Structure 1
Amino acid sequence: MRYELEQIAEQLQRVRIAQNLSQRELSQLAGVPQAHISKIENKQVDLRLSSLAALANTLGLEVMLIPRQAIPAVQSIARQMTSASSLSEPKPAYSLDEDDD
Structure 2
Amino acid sequence: MAYKTEYLTQRIRAAREAMKMSQRELSARSGLTQSHISQIERGTMEPGLSSLVDVARALDLEIVLAPKKLMPAIRNILESASATSDTLTLEQRKLVGRLERWFAQFRDGFAIASEADTFRDSLALLRHLPLSADELDRLKDATERLDRWQADPPSSKELSEFAHSVRQLRNSAVHRDRDDAIPRSAYALEEEDDNA
TM-score range, shorter chain: 0.7 to 0.9
Identity across the alignment (%): 35
Partner of 1:64: 64
SS in 1 for 2:21: coil
TM-score, structure 1 normalization: 0.83
SS in 1 for 2:5: helix
TM-score, structure 2 normalization: 0.45
Q: How does 1:1-101 map to 2 (within 5 A)?
A: 2=2, 4-84=4-84, 86-88=130-132, 90=173, 92=175, 94-95=184-185
1:88, distance to aligned residue in structure 2 (A)? 3.4
What amino acid does structure 2 have at the position aligned with 1:40?
I
1:3, distance to aligned residue in structure 2 (A)? 5.0
What amino acid does structure 1 have at the position aligned with 2:44?
Q
1:24, distance to aligned residue in structure 2 (A)? 0.5
Q: For this pair of structures, how many residues does the alignment match? A: 98
Query: Does the 8 Å contact 2:31/2:54 carry over to 1?
Result: yes
Aligned counterparts of 1:53 and 1:78: Cα–Cα separation in 2: 19
**Measured at CA, do residues 66 and 13 of structure 1 come closer, stay the same or move farther in structure 2, by a change above 3 Å?**
same
1:87, distance to aligned residue in structure 2 (A)? 4.2
Aligned counterparts of 1:92 and 1:70: Cα–Cα separation in 2: 13
- Deviation string for 1:14-69 (max 9, x for gaps)? 00001011001100111011111101100011121111111111101011111112
Q: CA RMSD in A?
A: 2.5
SS in 2 for 1:21: coil
Aligned counterparts of 1:12 and 1:59: Cα–Cα separation in 2: 8
Aligned counterparts of 2:7 and 2:77: Cα–Cα separation in 1: 18
